[in-house]
Amino acid sequence: MNTMRFQSGRWKCAALLILFVITSPPRLLAGDDDSVFANFQRLVRAADPKLAVKTLKEGSSSVPSQADSEKLVGAIASAAVDVMDNGAAFEEQHPQSKHLGEVRAATMETLWSVFGSKGFPIPQDRLEEVEAREDGEMKIKALLKEE
């Protein structure tokens, strides 16, 4: 019984950690582009489903409850949307950055990984923005392959 409560607590802690990372993006735009890029990379890691599952498996041997799983999926989806927002903000604030290509690639990969490959639900209030961004990036990828 205590083991189950402890393992459920690990899932809650992981979800809270992801939520903490994604609820503090205003700090992202402060500073030079290297430190802003480092903060952006933290957001990308918070939105990585594989990393979240790996972290949780290291400390728990049981399967999470349905409610815990839904919270974790929601937190990862929110983190992916934050990656999209902060990637766009990075491009606007640091248009000459040496990290611009990496930010664009990480944004596209995060959106594809979370919403395309894994099929996590896109937050309803951001559905049009995410789909428009993914459609535009898919067209760019297709054009690059043709060259």
Tens of pLDDT along 81-139? 999 999 999 999 999 999 999 999 999 899 988 988 888 888 888 888 887 776 666 55
- DSSP, collapsed to helix, strand or coil, labels residue 141 as helix
Tally of domains within the chain: 1
Distance CA 1, CA 95 (A): 54
Quote the pLDDT of residue 107: 92
Where b means 16+ CB within 10 Å and e means fewer, 88-107 reads ebbeeebeebebbebbbebb
Domain of 27, in residue numbers = 2-146
SS3 content of the chain, % helix, strand, coil (to 5): 80, 0, 20
Distance CA 79, CA 77 (A): 5
Which pLDDT tens digit goes with each residue over 51-78? Answer: 887 877 776 667 777 887 888 888 899 9
What are the CA-CA distances from residue 62 to residues 2, 5, 50, 57, 59 (Å)?
13, 11, 17, 8, 9
